[in-house]
Amino acid sequence: MTDLRSFIPPYILHRIVAHGSEHQRSSAMSTLAHVRTLRHTPGPPVRPAAAAILPATSKRGQVQRSVHDAQGKMLLPGMPVRLEGQAPSGDPAVDEAYDALGASYDFFWTVLGRDSIDDKGFALIGSVHYGQDYENAFWNGSQMVFGDGDGEIFQRFTRSLDVVGHELTHGVVESEAGLVYADQSGAMNESLSDVFGVLTKQYLLGHTADQADWLIGADLLTPRIKGVGLRSMAHPGTAYDDPLLGKDPQPDHMRKFVITQEDNGGVHINSGIPNRAFYLAAKALGGFAWETAGLIWYDALCDKRLSHETSFSAFAKLTVEHARRRFSANEARVVQRGWSQVGVETTQEAP
């Protein structure tokens, strides 16, 4: 089973291959072929060789970034273009990646007290202009990689802060819990990445749970595509409905859970269920989601009792426990209600 950490789900690329123009099909096929070659070894993030160009720092809370230009090739990391503290390069992709890596680090540090992905000051490396019309972004265990999109369906992937936050969170999940990237634990892995990706965006914009759009990848689709983003945490299954991409297939309740062998057991599809549970809890708790629901979900992620093969219900039970521990019985009831509304019970013992 291929263990992917790419942002665009394979089912979307398959739709483009089946229904796109010659150019769109070619871009999607080359992206899909590359995605299939990605074999990521679960475990703590691996310090990339590119990090050697950054000066060492022992000070916690100090971000270390470098952005590289892959120059249309698939060789990483590429040429260094902008290092920590340097002025903008003038290349939108480079500067967007630099800013997004910084915003993600700032969220992890300021809100969660986490010093980068591994909580040990892990250097954040990004490579832009990867491949030709590459329709994806991915975390490879040591760095972020961004394609430019085909310009017809997807725009450059550096445009979307929540994409960067999403992919970096995969590193956090690996470092903390090592959730197996298949079935419910894989969907939970994807959902956690969406949760902290969207919270990074909300934190930067200063949006409350009521003000936020709760969309993932809202800046990626070109105007010709009928959709508002790749996923909606508020209303899974409604992000897009387009002749080319089809209809967003995410379920919003366990009764619609998708049983499939594709996409590692439907990790991108079924993540809609825990995504909506988080949204419902955050909305009901009110205020800034990163101050309440976000902290609860982070506590559960870092709980050493969390199984590598957790089910939705086992993770949900931990969130209820941590809501009570960090806040009160009232917050615990709100979180429990959010899970119950998507058909996930919290009475099961955590494995």
Query: In angstroms, what CA-CA distances link 227 with 217, 231, 245?
Result: 10, 10, 9
Average pLDDT (212-238) is 97
Task: Please report which confidence band the pLDDT of residue 312 belongs to, taking 50, 70 and 90 as the band edges.
Answer: very high
Task: Please report which confidence band the pLDDT of residue 34 belongs to, taking 50, 70 and 90 as the band edges.
Answer: confident
- Two structure tokens written together for 101: 């890596």
pLDDT of residue 192: 98
- pTM of the predicted model, to two decimals? 0.93
The rounded distance, in Å, linking the Cα atoms of 118 and 136 is 24
φ, ψ of residue 240 to 5 degrees: the values are: -155, 155
Summarize pLDDT for 182-208 with one digit per residue, the tens: 999 999 999 999 999 999 999 999 999
pLDDT of residue 35: 73
- pLDDT at 72 > cutoff 90: yes
- pLDDT at 237 > cutoff 50: yes
Q: Are 82 and 67 in contact (CB under 8 A)?
A: yes
Mean pLDDT of the chain: 92
Task: Please report which confidence band the pLDDT of residue 49 belongs to, taking 50, 70 and 90 as the band edges.
Answer: low
- Picking from 37-51, 81-95, 196-210, which range would have the lowest pLDDT averaged per residue? 37-51
Query: In angstroms, what CA-CA distances link 49 with 58, 74, 99, 242, 302?
Result: 18, 16, 21, 41, 28
- pLDDT at 305 > cutoff 60: yes
Average pLDDT (73-81) is 95
pLDDT of residue 212: 98
Q: Quick count: other Cβ atoms within 10 Å of Cβ 111?
A: 18
- pLDDT at 349 > cutoff 50: no
Name the percent of the chain lying above pLDDT 90.
Answer: 85
Report which of residues 142 and 282 the model is more confident about.
282
- The 3-state DSSP class for residue 292 equals coil
Hey, what's the torsion of the CAs at 91, 92, 94, 99, to 10 degrees? 140
Name the percent of the chain lying above pLDDT 70.
Answer: 91
pLDDT of residue 346: 87
Q: Are 330 and 323 in contact (CB under 8 A)?
A: no
Q: Which of 84, 167, 174, 331 is catalytic?
A: 167
- Picking from 5-14, 89-98, 125-134, 334-343, which range would have the lowest pLDDT averaged per residue? 5-14
Q: Which of 268, 321, 322, 331 is catalytic?
A: 268
φ, ψ of residue 45 to 5 degrees: the values are: -55, 140
pLDDT of residue 56: 53
Q: Mind listing the domains of the chain with CATH numbers?
A: 10-176 (3.10.170.10), 183-340 (1.10.390.10)
The rounded distance, in Å, linking the Cα atoms of 249 and 208 is 27
pLDDT of residue 3: 44
Give the chain's length: 351
Average pLDDT (82-96) is 97
Report which of residues 279 and 348 the model is more confident about.
279
Summarize pLDDT for 256-288 with one digit per residue, the tens: 999 999 889 999 999 999 999 999 999 999 999
- pLDDT at 113 > cutoff 70: yes
Query: In angstroms, what CA-CA distances link 297 with 32, 56, 277, 303?
Result: 32, 32, 11, 10
Task: Please report which confidence band the pLDDT of residue 6 belongs to, taking 50, 70 and 90 as the band edges.
Answer: confident
Per DSSP, the residues of 314-347 read HHHHHHHHHHHHHT-HHHHHHHHHHHHTTT--S-
Q: Is 322 a catalytic residue?
A: no
Q: Is 308 a catalytic residue?
A: no
